[in-house]
Amino acid sequence: MNKMSFHIRISKYTLLLLFVNLSLFVFSQTDYKNQVSKIEKINYTFKPELPKTSAQDIFKIPMINKINKKNYKSNGATKIKIASSVNIYTSILENSSCLSYSPKFNVISYTYRAGGELGGTGNDVKIQNSINNGANWTNFDIIVNGENNVDVKNCRYPSGVLFNPAGNEQYSQALMVVTGSNTIGTGTLASETTEWEENYYASVKIDGSNKSVVYKKISLDSMQLFPRVGLVATETAVYVLGMDTLQNRIILNKGIYENNIINWTPYPINLNGKYEIYDYNMAWANDGINGYIVFTGKHLNDTIINDSIIENNFYSPQPIVLKTINGGSSWSIIKYNFSNLTELYSKLRYTSDNVTKRPFFNEGAKLVVDTNNNLHIFAIVASASSSHPDSLNYYWITNQMLYKFKFDGLNFDAIFIDSVIANNVKETDNAFTSNVGGTTESVGWDHRLNAVRDKNGSKIFCVWTDTEWELYDASIYSVHINVHPDIKAMGIDVNTGLVTTIKNFTKNTDYEYNNFFLYTSNIAIKSGSLYTIPATTVDISNSMGPVNVQNHYYFNGIVFDETHFAPLGVEKMENNLKYTIYPNPTKDKVFIQINTDEEFEIILHNVLGKEVYRNKYANDEKEIELSLNNLKSGVYFCNIKNTKTNYSVKIIKE
C-alpha cells in the first residue's frame, strides 16, 4: 500500500481536526491582533513516539500544594486509582468512548492503553470493569502484543464499550468491544515503527471466551484512520466513526453480533458538496435505528466579489446534522444557520465591522438522543471576529458560552447554560510538556464536555471542567486558561423542562483543581431517586510530563437527586448563598439580589486580572446596584463570596 504520512503520536487537537490558538482579548482594553483566536486545519506530519523521560520536563502549572487550600473533606465523593498508561495520549480525545456503563448488568467499564505500575506495555489494551459502582475493579487484557519489536502491532488510542446481545440475560456472556488504530514495529525502540498501517477491532465475552482481534489494513478499510469516535452500543448494533482524511469524509462503522463475535462493515458518508470538517461525533437512540452524526464545519460554497462575501454557508464553523431512521442505511442532512436562534444571537458580540454577528463553535459538539428520539447538542459557542474572506476562521476569545441545542426533527431551539470562565489550554502554552533530546512534546486540552443521559433518555446531563477565576496567575499566563480544572455538571428533564442548578462537584473537596482529561459514561446510573454519572480523570501533577506514565482515577461523586430538578430561571444557590444577577449583558449597571445568612463580599476583575471593584456587605443588604459606568466595554468576572463559598460569574458590559 502507499503509506500515508501521519503522526504516530498526535495531539487531541490533531485527532479532532481542531487546533485552537487562543490569545488575549479585552475588547477595547488591548490591540485587535491580541483579541482573536484562530481555528485551523491540521498538519499531518510523521513524528516518532518519544521515550519516557523525567530529566527535562516542564510543568508550567502552579502545583496544588502552592495554592492556599483549606483542609476540605471529600463531601462523600471518592477517587480510586484504576489504571495506568505508558503516556497521556490514550486520554487526549474526549470524543473517544473510554468509559461506559451497562444498566442491564450495572457494570462500569474503562478502556485504556496499558503500561506503568498496573501492568502491560504501551502496545497492549486493557479494560477495567466494576460491578459495585466503582468500589472494586477487575482487569481484562483484551489485546496483548508485548514489548516493542519487529512485526509487533503497536495498538494506540483505543475506545471501548460494553455490548449486550439481544436476548442475553447473563453478565458473563456480555461483550467488551474495543476499536482503534495501530502501527507495526520495525525494531525494539518506541520510535522504530511503521506509519499508521491498520485499524483493530476486538471483542471478548466477560467470561474470557470468544476473543476476537481483527486487524484491517487502512487501504482495505475505506482509507479511514482512528475508528474510535463516538463508539456506542445499542440494542441492535455497535457503531463507531472514523475519518477518511484523503477524501475528507466520515466513515460509519457498524458492528453486528454474529457467531459470538462482532463483525464490522464500514459505510462511507458521502456528502453532496465540499465541506470543511473540524470536529465530528455521533449519538444513537437505544433501538440502534434512530441516530445522528454531527460534524462541526462549513459548507464551502463561497462567492466573493470585490473582497466581499456574497455567499458562504454560515461563514463560521457550526453544527451540521445528519439523521438516520434506518440504522445508518441512509442519511438526511440538516443545514441550519444557528444565527437564527434569537436566544443565542442576542448574546453574541459583533464582528470587527460592528455590523454582523455569527456564532463560532470552537470546541465541537457533544450529543445525546432523548426518549423521544430528539437530538440534544451541548456546545461552547464563541463569537466570530471577522467577515473578511481571509479571516473567517477567527473568533473573539472572551464571552464564550455553554449552550444546549435541541432538534426535534423540524426545528432547533437553544438554552443558555453557563458562561465559560477559563480559556482552552493550547499546546503552545507549554503547561504540560516533555523535552526529549531537544524535541518538545506538549499537550493541551479544552473543557472536556460530556453529554450523558439516563437509561431511557428522559433525563440528560452535561458535564465539563473549568477553572475558577480566583486561580488566575497573571505572572505565568497572559490569559486565564483551564489549568486547574474542577468538574461541573447540570441536568435537564426533557419531558417536564425542569433543570438542575449548575454544581461544581470538586470545589471545596480534596479533589479540587486537579481533574484533567475528564471522561464520563454516556449513561448515568439510576438508583432510587439518585442519578450518578461515572467519571474518570488523570492526575498529571504526579506524572512530570505527557510522555511519562499516567495514572487514571475513577471519580464517584457526580450525583443528582430528583428533587434537584426545578423550573428554569436565573436564580442560583451556592451552599448558603442564594443570588440573582440581572441584566447580563448590560450597558451601565447590574443588580445583584442576595439572600444569605452572613456577611458577603463582591469583587470585580477585568480579564487582565486587575481588580476594579471590591466591597463588603452586611447580610441584611438584599439587593446591590453595581454601577459599571466607569468601566470600559468588555468582560468582567464577578466574585460573590462568604466564608462558605466563592462563586464566579461573567458580567458583560456592552
pLDDT of 640 higher than 60: yes
Q: pLDDT of 523-540, one tens digit each?
A: 999 999 999 999 999 998
Is the predicted pLDDT of residue 54 greater than 50, yes or no? no
Residue 430: predicted pLDDT: 82
Give residue 11's pLDDT.
33
Q: What is the pLDDT of residues 88-143, one digit of tens each?
A: 999 999 999 999 999 999 999 999 999 999 999 999 999 999 999 999 999 999 99
Residue 461: pLDDT over 90: yes
Better-scored residue on pLDDT, 611 or 181: 181
pLDDT of 246: 85
Percent of the chain with pLDDT over 70: 84
CA distance 161 to 178: 7
Q: Which helix (H) or strand (E) holds 345?
A: helix 342-345
Does residue 258 carry a pLDDT above 60?
yes
Determine the pLDDT at residue 473: 81
The C-alpha angle 75, 78, 81, rounded to 5 degrees, equals 160
- For 370-389, how does the pLDDT look when each residue is reduced to its tens digit (9 = 90+)? 999 999 999 999 999 888 87
Which residue did the predictor score with more confidence, 188 or 473? Answer: 188
The residue type found at 89 is Y
Topology of domain 580-653 in CATH is Immunoglobulin-like (2.60.40)
- Position 102 scores a pLDDT of 97
**pLDDT-based confidence at residue 41 (cuts at 50, 70, 90):** very low
Is the separation of the CB atoms in 444 and 21 below 8 Å? no
Q: How confident is the model at residue 35 (pLDDT cuts 50, 70, 90)?
A: low
181 close to 196: Cβ distance less than 8 angstroms: yes
Residue whose C-alpha is closest to residue 339's, from 321, 353, 322, 319: 319
Residues 633-641, mean pLDDT to the nearest whole number: 84
The terminus-to-terminus CA distance of the chain in angstroms comes to: 57
Residue 514 has pLDDT above 80, yes or no: yes
Highest mean pLDDT among 11-25, 531-545, 566-580: 531-545
Interval 460-468 mean pLDDT: 97
pLDDT level of residue 31 (50, 70, 90 thresholds):
very low
Confidence class of residue 65 from pLDDT cuts 50, 70 and 90?
A: very low
Write out pLDDT tens, residues 299-314: 776 554 455 544 445 5
Q: What is the pLDDT of residue 33?
A: 46
For residue 569, pLDDT beyond 80: no
How much is the pLDDT for 344? 92
Mean pLDDT of 558-582: 71
pLDDT digits (tens, 9 = 90+) for 596-607: 778 889 999 887
- pLDDT of the residue at 67: 43
DSSP conformation letters of 353-407: TSS---EEE-S--EEEE-TTS-EEEEEEEEEE---SGGGTTEEEEEEEEEEEEEE
pLDDT in the model for residue 558: 98
Q: What is the pLDDT of residue 441?
A: 85
User: Three cell numbers at 522?
Assistant: 454516556
**Position 288: which residue type?**
G
- Please tell me whether the overall predicted TM-score, pTM, comes out greater than 0.85 for this model: no
Per-residue confidence band for 551, with pLDDT thresholds at 50, 70 and 90: very high
